[in-house]
Amino acid sequence: MSVTWPTTVPGRVVQLLLGLIVTSAGIWLTIRADLGVASWEVLHIALAQRLGIGIGTASIAIGSLLVAIVAALGLFPGIGTILNVLVIGTCLNLLLATPVLASMGTASVAERLGVLVVGIAVFAIGCAIYVGAHLGSGPRDGLMLAIHLRLPLGVGGARVLSEGIGLVIGWSLGGPAGVGTLLFVVAAGPMVALAFRFLGLRPLAETRPVPRAP
């Protein structure tokens, strides 16, 4: 598949917004499947239920808190970080307010599993699109990087720890951890990597070597 992606900053902002909207749709599908959700969504849903607010609103609150924590640790947010918090939370509230797939929780396990798998795939495509815009990491990715820089952990270990924080807190508050959470942990990473290859995007911006002085 050959795709030409924008290189100017305005075009990359549009790409970023498209990716965030697609990511939101993927998260929405995993919530509708009612089989368990991604680690941080477990916390968002638990918080929403406890406070009587929208899941998207809880996502914005937790995302904003993480941005503040990561900034205090020395990693300041970019435009992509701020838009990640606002766009995904807003889109989730709008999607969950619609009746589409609202009765999926009463469907058969096979149907719900199908919706969950599609949701993870859509999430992965959205992640590749918005990360490929190279305009700043999401707040949870920022937490992973902060942990990696502050503790003697590799990126993989930092990712596990950051995801574990959201999952443990969310589960302790009654969030919906389940088989979908496990599937998300196992499948999301490889699916995002596949999406990068399929869409012809790079997770990191290309850097040109600095020419040596004569």
**94-115 pLDDT tens trace:** 999 999 999 998 999 999 999 9
At 99, phi and psi to the nearest 5?
-80, 0
pLDDT for residue 158: 81
According to the model, what pLDDT value does residue 206 have? 63
Domain count, the chain: 1
| Domain-embedded: residue 211 | no
Percent of the chain predicted with pLDDT > 70: 93
Does a structural domain hold residue 207? no
Q: Give the position of tokens 């020419």.
A: 211
- pLDDT, mean over the chain: 90
pLDDT of 59 strictly over 80: yes
CA 166 – CA 148 distance, rounded (Å): 16
Give 123's pLDDT tier (boundaries 50, 70, 90): very high
Identify the burial level of 31 via C-beta atoms within 10 angstroms of its C-beta, where 0-12 means exposed, 13-18 middle and 19 or more buried: buried
Q: For residue 205, tell me if it sits in a domain.
A: no
User: Does 1 reside within a domain?
Assistant: no
- Residue showing tokens 């406890």: 50
Vertex 25 angle, CA 20 and 27, to 5°: 95
Question: 160: domain range?
Answer: 9-199
- Residue of higher predicted confidence among 193 and 181: 181
State the average pLDDT over residues 157-182: 90
Is residue 2 one of the residues assigned to a domain? no
Domain annotation covers residue 36: yes
- Residue 105 in domain: yes
**Distance (Å, rounded) from C-alpha 39 to C-alpha 196?**
22
Gap between the Cα atoms of 4 and 105, Å rounded: 39
- Per the domain annotation, does 158 fall within a domain? yes
Residue 52 has pLDDT above 90, yes or no: yes
Mean pLDDT of 32-40: 94
Confidence band (pLDDT; 50, 70, 90) for 210?
Answer: very low
